Amino acid sequence: MIRISFIIWALMLLVWCAMRYPAMRRARRQKTRVDNRTTLDISLLTLCVIGLVVMPIAWRLGIFSGFANRGQSALILAVGLLTGIVFLWLFRRSHKDLGRNWSVTLEVREGHQLVTGGVYAHMRHPMYASFILWGIAQALLIPNWIAGLSGLAAVLALYTVRQSREEAMMRQTFGTEYDAYCARTKRLIPGVF
């Protein structure tokens, strides 16, 4: 069961990489008009890589020597798989809807447009929501309390720090248009939060 959980997690990671790569290539070719990156921002992104990629691999390689392992049931595996599928769908949809407006850090591109269609019609931060789902899927699929929860902890830290800064940047760029968008959408969960 543990091997199947890790294989599902690894396949999820590979699919994510395949989806992210074209967006990264496209983003490198885009000119940046406003760059709000900080050392904290880059540090939190690095923490996400450690939590979402390095820790599960370290666990599978036996670096934890069984410390903080937990049991794994078929039900938890199935819920982890379903959560992973929703994560990948939302991640792909977010990228597709953003198109050329996406960047990995807090940047405004030349010709940047406010995206309010697709999944963005229902929530302001679907990309963050997808990463939170990734963290939850990892917590369910990796049967180790440390390696399993490290991704979710890192993503929540990133979201907590970045979402207000990102919304301030969008408000400064788009003004009342962004305020109106905020009034009709929630941050992460449509109709709730």
- How is the chain split into domains, by residue range? 2-184
Lowest mean pLDDT among 29-43, 137-151, 161-175: 29-43
Please list, residue by residue across 57-86, b when 16 or more beta carbons sit within 10 angstroms of its beta carbon and e when fewer do: ebbbeeebeeeebeebeeebbeebbebbeb
Strand partners, 108: 34
Residue 154 has what pLDDT? 98
Residue 35 has what pLDDT? 85
Secondary structure percentages of the chain, helix, strand, coil, to 5: 70, 5, 25
The torsion of the CA quartet 37, 38, 42, 43, rounded to 10 degrees, works out to: -160
Are 180 and 116 spatial neighbours (Cβ–Cβ below 8 Å)?
no
Would the pLDDT of 125 be above 80? yes
Would the pLDDT of 1 be above 80? no
User: What is the maximum alpha-carbon separation in the chain?
Assistant: 54
Cα(72)–Cα(41) distance, integer angstroms: 34
Condensed to tens digits (0 to 9), the pLDDT of residues 48-80 reads 999 999 999 999 999 999 999 999 999 999 999
Q: Comparing C-alpha atoms, which of 126, 15, 143 is closest to residue 76?
A: 143
Architecture of domain 2-184: Up-down Bundle (1.20)
Condensed to tens digits (0 to 9), the pLDDT of residues 171-187 reads 999 999 999 999 999 99
Q: Which amino acid is at 8?
A: I
User: DSSP letter string over 143-178?
Assistant: -BHHHHHHHHHHHHHHHHHHHHHHHHHHHHHHTHHH
| Global pTM value | 0.94
Are 36 and 107 spatial neighbours (Cβ–Cβ below 8 Å)?
yes
